[in-house]
Amino acid sequence: MADIFGLPLEVLLHMLEFAQWKDLLRLISTCKFFRTLIEETSALQYKIELGVYGVTDLRTEPNVPYPKRLKRLVDFQSSWRTATFAHTSEVSLPGAWDGWTYELQKGFFARSLLHQNAPVPGGMSEMVLVNLRTARHWRCQLDLEVQDFSFDPDQNLAVLFQWMGLDPDTAETRIHLRQLDSLKPHPLAEQPVITYDLGWRQRPLGWTIHSIQIAGDLVGVLFDPRSFGEGDKIVVWNWKTGQAVTELPATRIVGLDSFALLSERIMVVPDARQPSINVFLLGEPGKRPVHRKCFVLPRLAADRRMERIICRSDPVASAASSAAASPLARGREQALNPGPTYQVSDNGRLLCFVINIWKFDADIVNTVHLFTPMDVFMSPDEGDWNPNHEIKYVPWKDWGPEKARMLAEPMLVRNPFVTFIHGHRFVMASTHLDAGEPVGNLSHYIHLYDFNQTAIRRDLLRETKVEDICRDRTTLPKEDFFGTTDVVTALPYRCCRKRLDIPYEALMMDGENVIALSAFH
């Protein structure tokens, strides 16, 4: 240690520039010298704060000093923690409110509109898009009937699903791969229109799309035929080549309620029939995913049943299109079409499972929100993903009580498919009636939850900013929920509640914005 202390300060700082943020935190605890050195060096503190908050800085600003960057990051995180919004704007969109046709991703908000009252094969539609950072609005006419859509601004990609009717002889889906900014065919797509036969033998009762996920080169979709003769089906394509990578139909072992692509290799599928969360490994193209793990949920009593479990996560981060460009080119692109300042790291993401439990005798459905970090389902050991291994069953007692949090607060979930989760944050609406107020004065609140475990642990150790941290265990009584036992969970989280003066039906969020969807405002 004496030799290290004898090195010039400039040499020590240069060495520390190569250290990871976790190593810097460990070094702070070794001695007063390194603690002072690191805490008084803004560049090192900035690296630590980025790591603690689980984000990366996407902007190229070599001329901005680190003290200014550090203050901007701390202020940004503080605004989220207190639900303090820098500004509020109102956007009026034509058409009836419909959560299925909205999407919010990374600063872009989109709405699809029909040119007729109901989907018609060969019909027309249009899309309204808003860049929330530049306040630019534009509308694009489409020569196809859009049943559902999603997009990824990082890849300037819009994925449009065309309505093709219900005849099983023509029960195919057509996927249009367009550029988000113009809705013209995407130049990187070898097949701008992918046609895929769903293979249903019986006429569906009104098949629909339950979820669309984009993960880098992959696009995954869950189809529901709404038919007793056919089962749900997940299909994953490589959108650049147009080839189907894998197909996962519902089976007696695993039902398909919803799904999430955690990466280009790992997919999570919850199952309400056998209450569990299943992890699949995407292997070679053309082969079915390998069922690797089954995380068991609490057992239900015989007088109740789980309805569909909705899995929600934010889009998996994809490489920005300008990643290989020069700093000058990236700076020019950011000036014309600015992207987010920060992007959540893959290991800092949160999964939410919306579980409806139906109690037969009382004919009551109670809703539970199950939160857990994404890395619970990601194996750190690649050898653990050997496709020759058998399914590993993980009992609830081994993961749920300490690595999850179940909340049953009264929340407005009119449409659970809108994007109400991003990174480690979750936003939801609730209603509250103040004492003495008439029923007509029902207030609407934003509940903002933050499950960033690294930041929570650090603040608890420092005993700072802990007033909004919930460490008390949550108990769901067996009489109201699972019927077999009280379910206790303890994953810490932050919660902030803020009142809004306007009514709304649902909330959406991304890394920088919260949008209230209202039929009246």
- 36 part of a folded domain: yes
Characterize the bridge pairing of strands 108-114 and 487-489: unpaired
The pLDDT score that the predictor gives to residue 42 is: 93
- 50 part of a folded domain: yes
CATH (domain of 15): 1.20.1280
pLDDT tens-digit series, residues 376-395:
998 655 445 555 668 899 99
- 356 part of a folded domain: no
**Separation of alpha carbons 334 and 241, rounded Å:** 28
Lowest mean pLDDT, pick from 111-120, 153-162, 294-303? 111-120
- 23 part of a folded domain: yes
pLDDT tens-digit series, residues 459-481:
998 888 889 999 999 999 999 99
C-alpha pair distances (Å), 246 with each of 33, 242, 254, 466, 516: 55, 12, 16, 46, 36
Stretch 137-161: mean pLDDT: 87
Q: How many structural domains is the chain composed of? A: 1
Residue type, 511: G
- 48 part of a folded domain: yes
Band of pLDDT at residue 334, cut at 50, 70 and 90:
very low
- 74 part of a folded domain: yes
Greatest alpha-carbon span in the chain: 80
Stretch 384-413: mean pLDDT: 80
CA angle, 152 then 283 then 350, to 5° = 45
Domain containing 27 equals: 2-82
Task: Please determine, for residue 348, whether its predicted confidence score (pLDDT) is greater than 90.
Answer: no
Stretch 269-287: mean pLDDT: 88
Task: Please determine, for residue 119, whether its predicted confidence score (pLDDT) is greater than 60.
Answer: no
Strand order across the beta sheet in which 425-432 lies? 421-422, 425-432, 443-450, 493-500, 469-470
H/E stretch holding 397 reads: helix 396-403
Query: Mean pLDDT across the chain, nearest whole number?
Result: 81
* 42-53 and 453-462 helices, crossing angle to 10°: 120
- 469 part of a folded domain: no
Beta strand ranges found along 348-473 (DSSP E): 350-359, 364-373, 392-394, 405-407, 421-422, 425-432, 443-450, 469-470
Is the separation of the CB atoms in 312 and 352 below 8 Å? yes
H/E stretch holding 237 reads: strand 233-238
- 14 part of a folded domain: yes
Task: Please determine, for residue 331, whether its predicted confidence score (pLDDT) is greater than 60.
Answer: no
CB under 8 A, 24+ apart: contacts of 95-98: 96/519, 97/505, 97/517, 97/518, 97/519
Residue 83 or 329, more confident:
83
The pLDDT score that the predictor gives to residue 415 is: 52
